[in-house]
Amino acid sequence: MAFTIRQLQFFIAVAEQGTVSGAAQNLSISQSSVTEAIKELESDLGVELFERHPRGLNITHKGHQFLRHATKILADVSDARRSFSGEQAVAAGRLQLGVTSLVAGYVLSDLLARYRRAYPGVEVSAIEDNGDYLEHLLIGGKLDIAVMVTSNLRDRTALQSEILEVSAYRLWLPLGHPLVGADIISIG
């Protein structure tokens, strides 16, 4: 059986929220519908997309890989629908974008390239700064949008956020570093 657009939407919602209940609430559907869709999707793909634990779900490595594909598929579906929906008017104007240094290095060029292809009539200007300052600019109306790590947001009630990509925390060490063989590393 092939997976459905609905299953992809549910999967992305669970990946963003980290819990089935949070995803169900965002989607305005029952938890059992979300759970069933995720189980069917995992069965269809033959992989475990989430590790289950009492406080929610953690996305697996395979889940991260599939999340990139699912997000792209839904974006392509949206583009296809838009191309036939009579929304032929070309968007024009200016977009004020803020990014943190971390995000700028990993995703900015790809995001900007895709945005400019989709909206060639929009002039984009970007500012790179720390998350606190970007949050201040967003709340003050000086930025239209910012791409940054959401775990650092201070005033979640003043901003609406959407998760573009979920990233597991990782520690990178050079080959031969004394901590490479450690099972547990303390930061204190």
138-184 residue pLDDT tens: 888 899 988 887 666 676 677 777 777 666 666 778 888 888 888 78
Residue 46 pLDDT more than 60?
A: yes
Question: In the prediction, which pLDDT does 35 show?
Answer: 94
pTM above 0.85?
no
Residues 74-119 have pLDDT tens digits of 888 888 887 776 655 567 889 999 988 877 776 777 778 888 888 8
Spell out the residues 6+ positions from residue 101 whose beta carbon is closer than 8 angstroms to its own.
128, 130
**Fold exhibited by the domain 93-152:** D-Maltodextrin-Binding Protein; domain 2 (3.40.190)
The residue extents of the domains of the chain are 5-84, 93-152
Sign of CA dihedral 33, 38, 39, 40: positive
Average pLDDT of the residues of the chain: 83
**If phi over 0 gives left and psi between -120 and 50 gives alpha, with beta otherwise, what is residue 93?**
left
Architecture of domain 5-84: Orthogonal Bundle (1.10)
Is residue 68 within 8 Å of residue 48, measured between CB atoms? no
Residue 9 pLDDT more than 70?
A: yes
